[in-house]
A and B are shown apart, each in its own frame.
Chain A
Amino acid sequence: MAAGAAVAEGLFVEDGEAVRLIAGRRKADGEMRFPMPTGADAALFEPVTLAPKGALWSFTVQRFRPKTPPYIGADDEKSFVPFAVGYVEFPGQVIVEGRIVTDDPGSLKIGQPMTTALQTFPTSTRGDVVTYAFRPS
């Protein structure tokens, strides 16, 4: 189970067992964006919860520790564990980028079903936080 405060407010909601991302739909033309815009643009959008499942659109594996800043992972160059990251398409809605939960990035295939999940992300500045992620269904 993921534990800790959310990495940011308003990214996702828990819906029973399911996790749904919160995107924004522009009232004028229906264009959808994740995350839901904040600030001056927020009034132009309405929040929409995405389906809990989608399909893997593309992916890669982050093989080296990202630069700090902006990365705040609690790991260092030595303890860093490569992680998969990719885009998941929620049909008819939007394609969203996120970290992928898998022990075997080599087995990922474009088009495979994915489920939105929560992941504990240990940080160097804020302790453990919870972020959204995708895992193979």
Chain B
Amino acid sequence: MTAVHIVGAGIHRFGRTPDMSGLDQGVHAVREALGDAQAEWSDMQFAFGGSSAAGSADAALPRLGLTGVQFINISNGCATGGSSLLSGYWAIKSGEFDIGVVLGFDKHPRGAFNADPEASGLPMWYGETGMMLTTQFFGMKINRYMGLHGVSAESLGRVSVKAFENGARTPHAWRRDPVDLETVMTSQMLSDPLTKFMFCSPAEGGVALVLASDKKMRELGLKGPKVRGAAVRTRPRGSFEVFAPSLDVERGLAPTQLASVAAYEMAGVGPSEIDVAQIQDTESGAEIMHMAENGFCADGEQEAMLADRVTSLGGRLPINTDGGCLACGEPIGASGLRQVYENVQQLRGRAEGRQVEGASLAYSQVYGAPGLSAVAILEA
């Protein structure tokens, strides 16, 4: 079986860039990734790319070069970036292609995402009476989790404090200023128990990765982390997802648990072997729940782990070393690839100011609407 490596990585800084379109930021990222791989666009045999709100990814073609390359637009909700990576991974692993690029970019308007009941197959009254808000869903999901597993509101605050600490050390992050626990806890309450500083915001950014077979990598004299495992899974019956007027009384697994198990199995490693992880933190409760769903702890152990800074830089398992969605914001098409970009930086020893020393196995997980999760495990 052909091994797949990431031989180039590029990013356009996340946040707000008023003078650049989402597409501009995607093109910037591709050029940076090609430069990193010392490759030309004309060398690329395939491209997979996506954006949620900034147009078709293949609009990048006239800018990058009309080489006739096969370019497939990916649209898969919040896992769009993860799905592009997986598509590129399969393309090379199958033996069909040797080298190609995956990209994701986005540019969202300010404020919470607008919700349209009919587009989600829901009755109008659900939105009309004020129940169709992602923020509400996140509040209810973590509130139940906290009640069942003894997680405190202060732990939610610690996740945000860590995110802004790490963001302050990351050139591609949006929020670059540390925020103290009291400020997080006393900021405006949006959806109990979640305050303003516990939520990420829609944002902008672009990421691109150049993937190559091990043979091609050697031919070109390149190096780069190996993709050990990658999986996307959708919600099984009984999972708790956004915009659900009702839920099964019989509760089931989350899509992240399915994707996580599949990726560990492909990689032949377990959670205890992971050195650094980027996991979905749409809000700080999501990071807490995903610590358990990805196998890094049992339900409830997060409380002590956060108090002991186990997941901070310098801890046993640093999580969201670039500040995650909380500090980078969430451009949907780019978010999953940002996590992988950060892991590539960590594994190549290039994460200056936030480097996890000696990291050799890195894990990423992106999760979102309408209930799907994408996991990738990389090895230095």
Contacts and interface: CB of A to CB of B under 8 A. Distances in A.
Contact of B249 (A7, A66, A86, A89): A89
B357 interface: no
A99 B131 contact: yes
B144 A131 contact: no
A81 B129 CA distance: 13
Given A61-B192, A105-B192, A131 B129 contact: yes
Given A32-B246, A35-B245, A70-B116, A61 B189 contact: yes
Given A70-B115, A95-B247, A110 B143 contact: yes
A66 B194 CA distance: 16
A94 B192 contact: no
Contacts of B140: 58-60, 85-87
Interface in A20-45: 23, 31-35, 38
Interface in A34-72: 34-35, 38, 57-64, 66-67, 69-72
A97 B242 CA distance: 11
B125 A131 contact: yes
Contacts of A102: none
Contact of B245 (A34, A62, A73, A121): A34
Nearest to B148: A110
A55 to B, nearest CB: 11
B129 A59 contact: no
> Which of B126, B131, B244 has the most CB atoms of chain A within a 10 A radius of its CB?
B131
A19 B28 CA distance: 58
Given A67-B114, A70-B128, A71-B128, A62 B191 contact: yes
A5 to B, nearest CB: 12
Contacts of A32: 246, 248-249
A101 to B, nearest CB: 13
Contacts of A123: 128
Given A7-B128, A63-B192, A85-B130, A97 B245 contact: yes
B248 A95 contact: yes
Contacts of B139: 60-61
Interface in B141-198: 141, 143-144, 147-148, 188-194
> Which of A7, A58, A86 has the most CB atoms of chain B within a 10 A radius of its CB?
A58
Contacts of B191: 60-63
Interface residues of A, number: 45
B127 interface: yes
A62 B128 contact: no
A63 B195 CA distance: 10
A96 interface: yes
A90 B131 CA distance: 19
Contacts of B246: 23, 32-35, 94-97
Contacts of A61: 139, 189, 191-192
Nearest to A11: B125
Interface string A72-103: 11000000000101110111111111110000
B72 to A, nearest CB: 31
Given A8-B123, A59-B143, A67-B112, A95 B249 contact: yes
A34 B126 CA distance: 11
A35 B123 contact: yes
A99 B131 CA distance: 8
B127 A69 contact: yes
Contact of A58 (B111, B124, B143, B245): B143
Contacts of A94: 246-249
A76 to B, nearest CB: 14
Interface in A92-137: 92-99, 105, 110, 121, 123, 131
16 contacts: A8-B123, A8-B124, A11-B125, A35-B246, A57-B144, A58-B143, A67-B112, A67-B115, A70-B115, A70-B126, A71-B130, A83-B130, A94-B246, A95-B246, A95-B247, A97-B245
Interface of B: 111-112, 114-117, 123-133, 136, 139-141, 143-144, 147-148, 188-194, 237, 244-249
Interface of A: 7-8, 11, 23, 31-35, 38, 57-64, 66-67, 69-73, 83, 85-87, 89-99, 105, 110, 121, 123, 131
Given A23-B246, A95-B246, A110-B147, 14 more contacts: A8-B123, A32-B248, A34-B245, A58-B144, A67-B114, A70-B132, A72-B128, A83-B130, A87-B140, A95-B247, A95-B249, A97-B245, A97-B246, A131-B129
